[in-house]
Homo-oligomer: A and B are copies of this chain.
């Protein structure tokens, strides 16, 4: 079932079929009707490979995740897919997690899409620079600006400041931050904001490195809470750490929100169902994904040629884990 069959059925040339279908050049109404009738009768759908080869376009976007576990990325993907498909593009996903050669995987992916969205620390900067230099539109999400790539991020600074001030207002003084600022710019920003917010009240928080999962949260929090200078507030770099920390606090008999405040980041579903409910920061993840698709589309279609850098606001969500409220 090729364009030749349709052309033969409609009694026209293949060029005309192509034009009628794509609207790339004027076709008389009568001819268009004949073509469309033939297409319908034959159930013709253009071969993607053929189109792709001839038109040098893929009608597809890629999206690269460090990994897909956790609710965070799923939401981003959802927003991305929704918008991309509305713009007529398919979505190819790639998770670099646990992959032997992420760079090569990303390069391969780059050969079959018109543009690429990269989330976080998936590949080194030089790979991104190469891709953009090659002319491929790239959008980085939750990652510092690099090369000619567009970038989108959630601005955590003001929310982190607000969080710091809020904790100080509750009277907490010995604040520990759980997370590794040097490993991720996002975490660094949160750390900085919290520090600034607390600084206004003359409080100097400490920082303890921690991986992004529950088990690490439990382990690190347990060590801190059993230590000599027990903190009275644990500010965690994400919700999973915080949920793990709540477990640790409960295990040593501390009342979360009373004896020790615990806060997270991301507002995953578990955050509002935890007891006490977790104070956290909500990120517009679906919007992040949708915006990435849009920004990428502008580049692909050539509607824009200068880099665009967007920053989305985040919201502090105060619940009970940072102290009960009147």
Contacts and interface: CB of A to CB of B under 8 A. Distances in A.
A136 interface: no
B60 A68 contact: no
A68 B74 CA distance: 7
A235 interface: no
Interface stretch (A91-99, A138-146, A174-182): A91-99
Interface in A205-224: none
A95 to B, nearest CB: 5
A58 interface: yes
Interface string A53-66: 10000101000000
Contacts of A91: 92-94
A39 to B, nearest CB: 13
A19 interface: no
Nearest to A59: B112
A67 interface: yes
A85 interface: yes
B69 A85 contact: no
A9 B163 CA distance: 61
B85 A98 contact: no
A93 B68 contact: no
A109 interface: yes
Interface in A46-90: 46-50, 52-53, 58, 60, 67-71, 73-75, 77-78, 81-82, 85, 90
Interface stretch (A117-125, A269-277, A301-309): A269-277
Given A269-B71, A273-B273, A274-B273, A81 B93 contact: yes
Interface string A9-51: 0000000000000000000000000000000000001111110
B94 A90 contact: yes
Contacts of A287: none
A222 to B, nearest CB: 17
When A and B form their complex, which 8 residue pairs have the shortest distance between CB atoms, in order from nearest?
Answer: A275-B275, A74-B74, A270-B270, A49-B52, A49-B53, A48-B112, A68-B78, A270-B273
